[in-house]
Amino acid sequence: MKIGTPKELEQGEARVAMTPDSARQLQKLGYECMIETGAGAAAGFSDALYKEAGVEVVKTAAALWKGADIVAKVRPPMEAEAKRLRDGQLLISFFYPAQNEALMASAAKKGASVIAMDMVPRISRAQKMDALSSMANIAGYRAVIEAGNNFGRFFTGQVTAAGKVPPAKVLVVGAGVAGLAAIGTSTSLGAITYAFDVRPEVAEQVESMGAEFVFLDFEEEQQDGAATGGYASVSSPEFAAAQLAKFRELAPEMDIVITTALIPNREAPELWTKDMVEAMKPGSVIVDLAAEKGGNCKLTVKDEKIVTDNGVTIVGYTDFPSRMATQSSTLYATNIRHMMTDLTPEKDGQVNHDMEDDVIRGATITHEKAVTFPPPPPKVQ
């Protein structure tokens, strides 16, 4: 069978779902690989590199979609791409099925199977295919780099002949995958790093990375994240008030605030209010990784960088992984390659779409002309 990757149509999207290296691995599984000309260019992979890796470079998207039995891409298909889907074809991409129901229904009607990379169950066995985590890790790292780029001082403290420089103080709000990556990057650059999460079980992880976990002086336990499969749920009004009071106390001290707090299927909680921004020193920076879901900071403008009247820079970009396209394409293409490995147990270049397999079942949103989303809960954890 042939697996092909088109050039992403979304404006500004620099990632690509197949790299020369991943193509080599896919060929070992028995597949022939195709790529649309220029698809890897923005991520640093030229047509020549793909040709060297044995990939057929095709001139148009039409030829790619026509020739490929399996299409691997990054973004959910746009209208022009969805139209090209056909009976028996397999599409593997991010899809966000709950937000794209009509698109999903049309793929099912056409007889195309769709594996949504954002639906890969978060169980140990599936970590190698967990593209959400791969991208969140990059976003967390890049958030710190972006903060540094907009911050006028060093992260680390220094004693120089020209004077003593204090270390920067960084607060990371939300210690999931992106938050932990931000914490690791911040501490490795030498900043004094603080972190807060509603799930106290992450305190140990935070501390093992050299950061200080911010505990609230609150009678109830911080949230029992374990009850919701590791995800956060909405805080009680009393807890939320205690959290905001703590942040209000920290705001004047912090040089950089990186917010990553999310609650599944909801708008991002508003945690950094206007008065907190106003209390920050001029030159401070906020990077709001929750901007896509409305932002954790009240003043965040999605996809923009703004500077407030009191000189605080607020970054609301939502394309951090695409800003590191070589790295993110490499990890994403590897996630896809691992998915293909599980879909090809015989290594014979033929897809065995085993709906009894928890991971494949969980990620499959259309199959054999039916919508198969939402999946049943996985049997194995």
- Site residues for ligand NAD per CB under 6 A: 122-124, 127, 130, 133, 136, 173-179, 196-199, 225, 230-232, 235, 260-264, 269, 271
Shortest reach from residue 37's CB to ligand NAD, in Å: 35
Decide whether 6 or 225 has the Cβ nearer to ligand NAD.
225
Q: In what order do the strands lie in the sheet with 364-367?
A: 56-58, 32-36, 2-5, 70-72, 90-93, 113-116, 364-367, 370-371
Which residues are registered as beta bridge partners of 160? 163
Residue nearest to ligand NAD (CB): 176
Decide whether 25 or 235 has the Cβ nearer to ligand NAD.
235
Shortest reach from residue 154's CB to ligand NAD, in Å: 27
Decide whether 58 or 287 has the Cβ nearer to ligand NAD.
287
361 is catalytic: no
Shortest reach from residue 176's CB to ligand NAD, in Å: 2
231 is catalytic: yes
Single out the catalytic residue among 133, 222, 243, 329: 133
CA atoms within 13 A on the CB side of 277: 26
Single out the catalytic residue among 130, 197, 255, 358: 130
Residue type (1 letter), 215: F
Tokens of 4: 């092909």
Q: How far apart are the first and last CA of the chain?
A: 32
Decide whether 60 or 127 has the Cβ nearer to ligand NAD.
127
Decide whether 129 or 192 has the Cβ nearer to ligand NAD.
129
Helix/strand/coil (H/E/C) assignment for every residue in the chain: CEEEECCCCCCCCCCCCCCHHHHHHHHHCCCEEEEECCCCHHHCCCHHHHHHCCCEEECCHHHHHHHCCEEECCCCCCHHHHHHCCCCCEEEECCCHHHCHHHHHHHHHHCCEEEEHHHCCCCHHHHHHCHHHHHHHHHHHHHHHHHHHCCCCCCCCEEECCEEECCCEEEEECCCHHHHHHHHHHHHCCCEEEEECCCHHHHHHHHHCCCEECCCCCCCCCCCHHHHCCCCCCCCHHHHHHHHHHHHHHCCCCCEEEECCCCCCCCCCCCECHHHHHHCCCCCEEEECCHHHCCCECCCCCCCEEECCCCCEEECCCCHHHHCHHHHHHHHHHHHHHHHHHHCCCCCCCCCCCCCCHHHHHHEEEECCEECCCCCCCCCC
Shortest reach from residue 239's CB to ligand NAD, in Å: 8
Shortest reach from residue 60's CB to ligand NAD, in Å: 37
How many other C-beta atoms are found inside a 10 Å radius of the C-beta of residue 208?
8
Single out the catalytic residue among 46, 86, 99, 127: 127
Decide whether 85 or 232 has the Cβ nearer to ligand NAD.
232
Tokens of 16: 């690509």
Single out the catalytic residue among 24, 27, 96, 231: 231
Shortest reach from residue 301's CB to ligand NAD, in Å: 21
Single out the catalytic residue among 27, 69, 96, 122: 122
Decide whether 4 or 174 has the Cβ nearer to ligand NAD.
174
Decide whether 3 or 286 has the Cβ nearer to ligand NAD.
286
Shortest reach from residue 264's CB to ligand NAD, in Å: 6
Shortest reach from residue 131's CB to ligand NAD, in Å: 11
The whole-angstrom distance between residue 218's C-alpha and the CA centroid of its chain comes to: 32
> Catalytic residue positions?
122, 127, 130, 133, 231
